[in-house]
């Protein structure tokens, strides 16, 4: 529901006050956030490029470990980048610049502002996952059953929620955008290195077990399980439960600690 401005009315005249509809507010915010994302497409490209490069370079490992292993690892790396670097850095920057405060003095509800941000990241996750599937097929000859692609895609969305909520925790704990940037890079690097080397058993059995139940390990497990639904095991179900648990805890803490202003 919206009104059309023609000539300005004297504000003392009686006139209807129509609150903007939720849809109009959300779509206005989403359009702006998508424009922002599009104008930052180079950094968005990097988020996709890293897992793609890993996937192409792992061509030799596909025969040994399987296509699901390669795809799930690369998707997990991409999800980590989207949640930790894309989401948290954009929130930290806009909070620091006072962009959120400007939106919050307008009739834009807090949930609409955040929902729009999260929608953009879900779109990024979707694009990244589809690109990984295509690159896996084209360059590494990885093929999965249709159900595998579909369940794997939804598993990626669930996995993405862990990293988005972890990004929320980071912007909840840290106010300075530069520190947020440095922290997310560090966490990203740690997740990739420990996650991957732990997966390969190169860091010992103990670290391997820890990795298995870390956000990296559980997300990788559910994406891998989703890609090959016929061999979904109780371990995969446990990984799904742990993933949902991580998401709930990180969301709780992230929302609790988050402040809209750095001042």
Torsion sign (Cα): 178, 180, 184, 186: positive
* Between 18 and 146, CB nearer to other proteins: 18
Q: What Cα–Cα distance (Å) separates residue 121 from each residue in 27, 136, 160, 168? A: 15, 22, 9, 13
Q: Answer yes or no whether residue 43 interacts with other proteins by CB under 8 A.
A: no
Q: Answer yes or no whether residue 42 interacts with other proteins by CB under 8 A.
A: no
Pair of tokens at residue 202: 């190169």
Least Å distance, CB 90 to other proteins, is 10
Q: Answer yes or no whether residue 1 interacts with other proteins by CB under 8 A.
A: yes
Least Å distance, CB 101 to other proteins, is 6
Least Å distance, CB 51 to other proteins, is 25
Pair of tokens at residue 144: 């999965």
Least Å distance, CB 168 to other proteins, is 10
Q: Answer yes or no whether residue 94 interacts with other proteins by CB under 8 A.
A: yes
**Binding other proteins by CB under 8 A: which of 101, 119, 126, 262?**
101
Q: Which residue in 222, 197, 198, 200 sits closest to 209, CA to CA?
A: 198
Helix (H), strand (E) at residue 253? helix 234-257
Least Å distance, CB 92 to other proteins, is 14
* Between 13 and 206, CB nearer to other proteins: 13
Q: Answer yes or no whether residue 138 interacts with other proteins by CB under 8 A.
A: no
Rounded Cα distance between 70 and 144, Å, is: 12
Per-residue string for binding with other proteins, 239-258, x by CB under 8 A? -------------x--xx-x
**Binding other proteins by CB under 8 A: which of 52, 103, 124, 169?**
103
**Binding other proteins by CB under 8 A: which of 102, 134, 186, 245?**
102
Q: Residue count at the site for other proteins (CB under 8 A)?
A: 53
Beta-carbon neighbour count of residue 261 at 10 Å? Answer: 11
**Binding other proteins by CB under 8 A: which of 22, 45, 186, 190?**
22
Q: Which residue in 129, 140, 146 sits closest to 65, CA to CA?
A: 140
**Binding other proteins by CB under 8 A: which of 59, 104, 175, 185?**
104
Q: Which residue in 55, 100, 85, 60 sits closest to 73, CA to CA?
A: 55
Q: Answer yes or no whether residue 4 interacts with other proteins by CB under 8 A.
A: yes
Rounded Cα distance between 219 and 80, Å, is: 10
Least Å distance, CB 261 to other proteins, is 7
Rounded Cα distance between 193 and 58, Å, is: 15
Rounded Cα distance between 181 and 178, Å, is: 5
Q: What Cα–Cα distance (Å) separates residue 88 from each residue in 13, 30, 52, 259? A: 45, 17, 22, 13
Residues that bind other proteins (CB under 8 A): 1-5, 8-22, 24-25, 27-29, 31-32, 35-36, 39-40, 94, 97-99, 101-111, 114, 252, 255-256, 258, 260-261
């Amino acid at each position: 529901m919206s009104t059309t401005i023609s000539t300005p009315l004297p504000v003392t005249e009686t006139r209807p006050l129509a609150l903007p509809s939720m849809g109009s507010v959300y779509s206005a915010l989403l359009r702006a956030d998508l424009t922002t994302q599009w104008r930052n497409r180079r950094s968005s490209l990097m988020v996709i490029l890293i897992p793609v490069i890993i996937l192409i370079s792992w061509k030799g490992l596909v025969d040994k470990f399987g296509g699901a292993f390669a795809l799930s690892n690369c998707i997990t790396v991409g999800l980590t980048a989207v949640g930790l670097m894309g989401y948290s850095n954009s929130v930290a920057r806009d909070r620091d610049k006072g962009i959120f405060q400007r939106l919050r003095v307008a009739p834009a509800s807090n949930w609409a502002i955040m929902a729009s941000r999260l929608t953009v990241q879900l779109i990024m996750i979707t694009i990244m996952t589809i690109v990984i599937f295509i690159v896996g097929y084209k360059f590494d000859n990885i093929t999965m059953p249709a159900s595998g692609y579909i369940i794997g895609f939804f598993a990626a969305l669930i996995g993405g929620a862990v990293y988005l909520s972890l990004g929320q925790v980071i912007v909840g704990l840290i106010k300075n955008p530069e520190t947020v940037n440095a922290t997310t890079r560090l966490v990203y690097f740690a997740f990739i290195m420990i996650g991957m080397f732990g997966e390969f058993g190169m860091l010992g059995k103990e670290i391997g077990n820890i990795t298995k139940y870390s956000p990296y390990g559980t997300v990788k497990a559910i994406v891998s399980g989703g890609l090959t639904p016929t061999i979904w095991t109780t371990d995969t179900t446990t990984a799904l439960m742990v993933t949902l648990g991580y998401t709930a805890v990180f969301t709780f803490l992230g929302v609790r600690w988050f402040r809209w202003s750095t001042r």
